[in-house]
Structure 1
Amino acid sequence: MIDIKYLYKAANRAGQTVEGLIEAPDKKAVVFALRAKSLYLLDLSEVSQRSSTDIALGSGMLPKRTLAVFCTQFASILKAGVPLIQALSILEEQTDNAKLKSILQAVGEDLQRGKGLSEALSMHERALPPIMIKMIEAGEISGTLDISLERLAATFEKEHQIAKKIRSAMMYPMIVTIVAVMVVIFMLLFVIPRFMGFFNSTGTELPAITQFMLNLSEFIQHNWMILVGILLMIIAGFKVFKSSPGGRLAWDSFKLRAPLFKKAVTRVLAARFSRTLATLTSTGVSLTQSLRIAGKVVGNRLAENRLMDVEESIKQGKALNVALSDTALFPRMLVHMTKIGEESGTLDQMMGKAADYFEEEADTAITRLTTILQPVLLVIVAVIILFVMLSVLMPMLTMYSNIK
C-alpha cells in the first residue's frame, strides 16, 4: 500500500502542542504511530500532492546543476558559522532560480514556526529529490549537516555530468535526422514538382521510381495539414502513453531490453544506484530506506520495481548482493563489488568506487552508442537522398537517350 503524507497536530504528555509530518497508509495508522511516541492526535490533514510553489511555478524537479550549486553554497555558509535561518535568507537572495527562491522563502517561514529543515523541505518533494531530503535529515540528526550538503553537491554534480553526456551524445543524431527530413520535404514539395512539369511537357515516359516520388509529392501537397495533424497526435499520444504508469513501465522496460541501448542504460542505472546508495549509507541512513530512495532516483520504473523487491528481500534476511543478483538488472561487476563491501563492512566505500567505475563505463557506452548511430544515420540519409535524386535523374537520362 502506498503511504500518504499527513500534517498532524498532537499533544505530548506535558500538554504541549507539537506539529509535524508523517507518512502512513491511512489515518488509523497515524493514530497508532503517534501513540507509540506518546503523542495524542488533535488535528490531522492530508498534505496536498502539490504545494503552492508547484502550482505557481510548475511541478518539475529542480535541475541537478542548480541543486549542486545550492548545496555547495549552503555548506560553505554553514561552515562559516552563519545561523540556519539567516543562511537560507542569504541563499534566497543569491539564487536566480524563481522556483528555488520561492521554496527557500517558504522553508525559512516554516523554520521560524519551529519545524526542522528536512521537514520543511519535504513539503516541496515535487521539486526536491528524496535523496536530498533524507540526507539533510540524517545530517540534522548527526550534527553534520554541512558534510551531508557537500556529499549531496558532489552527487548532484555527477548526475548533471551524466545527463549532459547523454544529451550531447544524442544531439548529433537528432540534428542529422531533422536536417535529412527537411531536405527530403523541400525536394518533394519544391524540386520534384518543377522537374515533373518539364518532363510532362516533353512527353517523357516516367520510370516507376519517378512516378512514385511524384505521387508522394502530390499526396503531401494536398494533405499536408492532415499529415501534420497526425504527426502531432502521434507525438501527443506518445507523451500521454509515457506519462501513464503502464506506459512508463513499458517504455523503461524497452530501453533496458533493446540491444542497441541496453548496455548504456544499464551502466547509467548502475552508476546512479551506486552513487545514491554510497551517499545515503555513508551518513547513517538505513539500507532499506536507502534502497527505497535509490529506486526513485535511478529514473527507470522497471528498476524501481525491482529495487522494491530487493528491499523486501533485505527485510526477509537476504544479503544485498544476493538480492541484487536475483533481479538480473545490474551488471555482475556491481553484484561482486556489493558482496565485497558487505563482507568487509565497507559497503558505502565500495559503492562509491562502484559509482566511479560505472560512471566511466556509462561514458564509454554512450560514446560507443554515438559512434554506432552516426554512420548508420548517415547511410540512411544518403540512401533517401539518392532515391530522391534518382527519381529526377532517370527521366533526364531517358530524354538524353531519345535525343541521341
Structure 2
Amino acid sequence: MPVFEYKAMDAAGKDMNGLIEAASEKLASARLREMGLRPYQVKEKKEAAGFSIPFLQRGVKTEETTMFTRQMATLLDAGLPLLRALTILQDQAENPKLKELITTLSSDIQSGSSFSDALSKHKRVFQPLYYNMVKAGEIGGVLEKVLNRLAEFAEKEQELRTKVKGAMTYPAVMALVATTVVTFLMIKIIPTFATMFLQMGVALPLPTRVVMTISNFLVGYWWMCILGIIGAIIALNWYDQPGRGRLQCDKVRLKLPVFGDLIKKVAISRFTRTLGTLVASGVPILQAIKIVKDTIGNEVLAAVMDDVSASISQGETISKPLHKSKVFPLMVTHMIAVGEETGSLDSMLTKIADNYDLIVDETVNALSSLIEPLMVVAMGGAIGIIVMAMFFPMFEMINLVK
C-alpha cells in the first residue's frame, strides 16, 4: 500500500507531520480528518532515485535502539505522553532511518494502534522480546519500568557481545597476518630459491620438496584457492541455516576445544537474562519460553526450550527438563529450582545471568592470555619451517662449492 507524507494541524492548532498508509491521497486525507487532524499537505512518499547497494545503506543500529529505549523510558518517567515523547525523539534523531522509523511509529499510534503493535511491524529493528515486553508493560500500566528493563537488558547484551568480539579480534588479526606473510613467502620468495636450486643441481631434502610443491601449486592455481575458500564459506553459510544444518553446526560449536565452553556460557547468560527480564515484566511464562527459544541463538538450547514448554504445560517445573538435557550446569538448574520454589524466579534468573557475565569476562581474559602466545608460536613455527626448508639445500650447496 502507498505511504503518504502529511502535514496537518491538531485541534489545538499545533503542527503535526508524519507518515500514513492509504490506497490514495484522498483516502489518506480522509483518515487524517477521522483522527481529528486538519491536513494541509498530503503527498505520496517517493523512493530515492539512483543506484544503491542494500548492504551499504545505513540501518538502525542496536546501540541506537538501546538509546531510543532508554530515552523513551526517561521521558515517560517524567510524565510526558507517549506521542509527545516520540515527537521529541524524532526531532533529535540524527540517523534518517531512525527518524523515519519513529515517524511511522507515531503515525500508527495516531491511527489507533498500540505502541507494541506499532513496534511489531518493524521486526528487523525490534525483536519479539522487545514488543512482547512492551505489550506486557502496556497491560500492567508500567510501560516506563519495562522500557528501563529493556534498556538494561540491551546494554548488558551489548557489553557481553563486545567482550566476546574483543576476545576474537586478536586471534583473527594474528591469523590474517600469519596467512599473508606465509602466502607472500610461498608466492614471491620460494620460487626464487627453487630456480636457484634447480640451476645448481642440488639434491633437495623432503621438507624442501614439500614446501616447493605447495609454492608451485599456489603460484599456478592461486585462483582455484580463492574460489575454493569463497565456495566453502558460501556452502557453510547455506548449511548453517535453521531447517538445514544449524542444529548440527551448533552441536559442533558447543564441543569446540576452548571456544565451545565460552559459547555455552554466553548462551546460558542470554537465556537466563532474557527469561528473567520477560518474567519480571509480566509476560506469561509459556509465551516467555517461546520468545527465549526464538532469541537464544543456539539450536541445541532452543530444542531444550520445547521440552520446557511441554513440562510447564503438564504442570511440571522449568528446572526439571533443563536438568535432564545435560546442557545446563547443575548450579544453574538448582538455582532455578530454588527460584521456582520461593516464588522469586525472575530475580534468581537475573542473579545467574550476572554471575555468568562475570564468568564469561574471566573466560575471555583467560582465553586472551592463552591465545596470544599460542598464535605467536604458531606464526613463528610456520615461518621457521619454511626458512629451514630453504636452508637445508643451501648447506648442500656450500659443501659442493668446497
Q: TM-score, normalised by structure 1?
A: 0.81
CA contact (8 A) 1:62 1:128 kept: no
Task: Please give the per-residue CA displacement for 1:7-39, whole angstroms capped at 9, x wherever unaligned.
Answer: xxxxxxxxxxxxxxxxxxxxxxxxxxxxxxxxx
**Alignment correspondent of 1:173:** 171
CA distance in 2 between counterparts of 1:368 and 1:63 reads 30
Structure 1 vs Structure 2 CA RMSD = 2.3
> Residue 206 of structure 1 aligns to a residue in which SS?
coil
Q: Are 2:114 and 1:135 equivalent residues in the alignment?
A: no
**Alignment correspondent of 1:384:** 382
CA distance in 1 between counterparts of 2:366 and 2:138 reads 43
**Alignment correspondent of 2:231:** 233
CA distance in 1 between counterparts of 2:151 and 2:83 reads 20
CA distance in 2 between counterparts of 1:75 and 1:358 reads 27
How many residue pairs get matched?
351
CA contact (8 A) 1:61 1:128 kept: no
**Alignment correspondent of 2:298:** 300
> Residue 246 of structure 1 aligns to a residue in which SS?
coil
Task: Please give the per-residue CA displacement for 1:137-189, whole angstroms capped at 9, x wherever unaligned.
Answer: 11111111111111100000000011101110001111111111111110011
Q: What residue ranges of structure 1 are gaps of 5+ in the alignment? A: 1-51
Alignment of 1:110-121 (within 5 A): 110-121=108-119
CA distance in 2 between counterparts of 1:298 and 1:107 reads 27
Q: Which moved more, 1:127-136 or 1:236-245?
A: 236-245
Q: Are 2:322 and 1:328 equivalent residues in the alignment?
A: no
> Residue 174 of structure 2 aligns to a residue in which SS?
helix
Alignment of 1:69-108 (within 5 A): 69-108=67-106
Q: Out of 187, 206, 212, which is 1:214 matched to? A: 212
CA distance in 2 between counterparts of 1:160 and 1:402 reads 65
**Alignment correspondent of 1:204:** 202
**Alignment correspondent of 1:190:** 188
State the AA in 1 paired with 2:354: D
Q: Are 2:284 and 1:286 equivalent residues in the alignment?
A: yes
CA contact (8 A) 2:304 2:321 kept: no
Alignment of 1:225-374 (within 5 A): 225-374=223-372
Q: What residue ranges of structure 2 are gaps of 5+ in the alignment? A: 1-46, 48-52
CA distance in 2 between counterparts of 1:385 and 1:365 reads 30
Deviation at 1:98, TM superposition (A): 4.1
Structure 1's consecutive aligned runs of 4 or more residues displaced over 6 angstroms after TM superposition are 56-61
Deviation at 1:271, TM superposition (A): 1.0
Q: Which moved more, 1:91-100 or 1:377-386?
A: 91-100
- The percent of aligned pairs where both chains have the same amino acid is 33
State the AA in 2 paired with 1:83: P
State the AA in 2 paired with 1:354: I
CA distance in 2 between counterparts of 1:62 and 1:116 reads 22
**Alignment correspondent of 1:36:** none
CA contact (8 A) 1:338 1:347 kept: yes
State the AA in 2 paired with 1:86: R
CA distance in 2 between counterparts of 1:208 and 1:266 reads 43
CA contact (8 A) 1:189 1:217 kept: yes
> Residue 328 of structure 2 aligns to a residue in which SS?
coil
